[in-house]
Structure 1
Amino acid sequence: MAHRVTITYCTQCRWLLRAAWMAQELLSSFEEELSEVALRPGRGGVFDVCVDDQAVWSRAGEGRFPDIKELKQRVRDRVAPGRDLGHVDR
């Protein structure tokens, strides 16, 4: 089953480039597991990442942005549990 990732980012804060870079990283790491990564504009300081409509990261809840390593591990846990991410897991 191919999974869908949605990254909701704040347009007021100009976080599109950060969201696009994270989307690129996820697509590169999970090209077989993902059907798409969607970028969804939002407001009010939002930066949320969902896999199949289930949250894996919320800037409001965590109080910060994810490191790409953390984000890849959380996405991996949803789309390919048990898969080794190489240097990301070290």
Structure 2
Amino acid sequence: MTTLHIEYCHPCGYLKRAVAVQEAVLRQFGTELESATLTVGDHGVFAVRVDGQPVFDIADDEFDVDDIVRRVRKQL
């Protein structure tokens, strides 16, 4: 099964974004995932990985839940 991992910067206030991405992915692909985890980070991190492979990094891309879901779909 596939794992989703979201690391987010708590001091930056990214918790709501992380939960929104987690919820959207679980709604779309919940039966295809083994787990969907959140990890607290810092220094501006907001990264999404599927099976350890980077799907989204806020340092490189603009935040868009729908775009992240599309990227996750490509990895599944």
| TM-score normalised by L of structure 2 | 0.93
2:46 is the alignment partner of 1:73: no
Between the two proteins, the alignment pairs up a number of residues equal to 76
**Distance (whole Å) between structure 1 residues aligned to residue 51 and residue 13 of structure 2:** 25
User: What residue identity is the alignment partner of 2:65?
Assistant: I
**Share of identical aligned residues, percent?**
36
Name 1:84's counterpart in structure 2.
Answer: none
SS in 1 for 2:17: helix
Q: Report deviation, 1:32.
A: 1.7
Larger Rg: 1
Gaps of 5+ in 2: none
Q: Which structure: greater strand fraction?
A: 2
User: Runs (4+) of structure 1 moved beyond 3 Å?
Assistant: none
| TM-score normalised by L of structure 1 | 0.79
Greater RCO, CA 8 A, separation 6+:
2
**Distance (whole Å) between structure 1 residues aligned to residue 35 and residue 5 of structure 2:** 8
Gaps of 5+ in 1: 80-90
Q: How does 1:34-73 map to 2 (within 5 A)?
A: 34-62=33-61, 64-65=62-63, 67-73=64-70
RMSD: 0.9
